[in-house]
Amino acid sequence: MLQQTTVAAVVPRWERFLARFPDVVALARAAEGAVLAEWAGLGYYTRARNLHRAARIVARAGGAFPRTAEALRTLPGIGPYTAAAIASICFGEPAAVVDGNVVRVIARLFALSIHPTSARGLARVRDRAQALLDPSSPGDFNQAVMELGATICTPSSPDCGACPVRRACAAAREGRPERYPRTAKRHETTTLRFVTGLALRRGRLVLVDDRQLVRGHLMTPLFPVRGGGNPEAVLRKEWRPAAGRDAGRLVPRGKLRHSILDRRYVVDVFTVEEKTSSPRDPHARANRPGLRLILPAELSGHAHGGLLLKILRLLRSSSDTR
């Protein structure tokens, strides 16, 4: 959970997650939807799926976790950093951890002008970190270097005066520690336009399986708007195939912006007043594939993402002003 997420955000969710899945067997037995529901709002949902898959592999092996970095890397979602962290901290294996903080500390310590995410640069850092590692206390050493990078050897304005290794630091001697490592190249972002609609049937939200943002989540019907397309026309055309009823009156509620990694989503939001369908209309069945009718109070028990929460907040806000 702490990967790409702050401690403050994680702590209450971690406690709740462990209360629901107290051990690896309980997690392995859970449905993926239940795991994603507990992860809702944390983002980067591949982490949750990999955690779930890894739990099932460990449970099938009798519940015993691999004890070496090499063996840990065979589990889904565990790469070199996580494997070294678990192996050193939990099992005492002398395996150097290399995360962003460690890269920065080592690059400055040895004045390594490297790209912080390149394979070659990471290999150089890993070799230096492994050479420095205290084999008698590898977990403590790894945590100390990570903490040093997080609290003192920060990306900007490092507190060199408080650094315990400043006398050995080549970048500090140069007086320009912020030169190392080189600034990572930013990924270009892609902006995508979508339109979505929210409708209620008998007080229940009309939701569908998310096919646009995060697989396994529930979402209001969401459709891409390509080129110079008209959002309202797209929503009206696509509503029936997705929701099983014709869209009647559409009320614009505003525009939202949402980001996932290097993708920026611009979403026009409407409320939809559906036309009543005949009970014999096969498209109108509530149990048609991908269509779910959920009471708003029960949404927390289902996997959903931040965009759906933004839509609900927008609608509550716009309703308050009308």
Q: Does 207 lie in the same domain as 142?
A: no
**Are residues 215 and 181 part of one domain?**
no
State the residue range of the domain holding 197. 190-320
Q: Which of 156, 185, 214 is the last residue of a domain?
A: 185
Residue 304: name the closest of 216, 222, 217, 212 by CA: 217
Instruction: Specify if 134 maps to a domain.
Output: yes
Same structural domain, 156 and 208: no
Give yes or no: residues 180 and 199 share one domain. no
The pLDDT value recorded for residue 42 is 84
CATH number at residue 246: 3.90.79.10
Distance CA 84, CA 244 (A): 50
User: Has this prediction a pTM greater than 0.85?
Assistant: no
DSSP code of residue 185? P
pLDDT band (50, 70, 90) for residue 189: confident
Domain boundary among 185, 213, 236: 185
Q: Looking at the structure, do residues 212 and 161 belong to the same domain, yes or no?
A: no
Query: Confidence class of residue 321 from pLDDT cuts 50, 70 and 90?
Result: very low
* The pLDDT value given to residue 322: 47
Indicate if the pLDDT at residue 279 is higher than 80: no
In a domain, 276, yes or no: yes
Q: Is residue 280 part of a domain?
A: yes
For residues 130 and 109, membership in a common domain is answered with yes
Residue 13 lies in a domain: no
Q: Is residue 19 part of a domain?
A: no
Q: Give me the mean pLDDT over the 229-233 stretch.
A: 94
Q: Does 221 map to a domain?
A: yes
Query: Which string of DSSP letters, residue by residue, matches 218-270?
Result: EES-EEE--TT--HHHHHHHHHHHHHSS-EEEEEEEEEEEEEETTEEEEEEEE
Please indicate, yes or no, whether residues 216 and 273 belong to a single structural domain of this protein: yes
For residues 251-258, give the mean pLDDT: 93
148 with 201, same domain? Answer: no
* Domain limit, last residue, from 167, 185, 203: 185
d(CA 2, CA 86): 14
* pLDDT tens profile 130-168: 999 999 999 999 999 999 999 999 999 999 999 999 999
Quote the number of domains for the chain: 2
Co-location of 210 and 171 in the same domain: no
Name every residue whose Cβ is closer than 8 Å to that of residue 248 and which is 6 or more positions away in sequence: 272, 273, 274, 275
> Where does the pLDDT of residue 223 fall: very low under 50, low under 70, confident under 90, or very high at 90 and above?
very high
Residue 128 lies in a domain: yes
Q: Please, which pLDDT band fits residue 270 given cuts at 50, 70 and 90? A: very high
- Tokens 């955690």: give the residue: 51
Q: Within a domain: residue 69? A: no
Based on the domain organization, do 179 and 197 belong to the same domain?
no
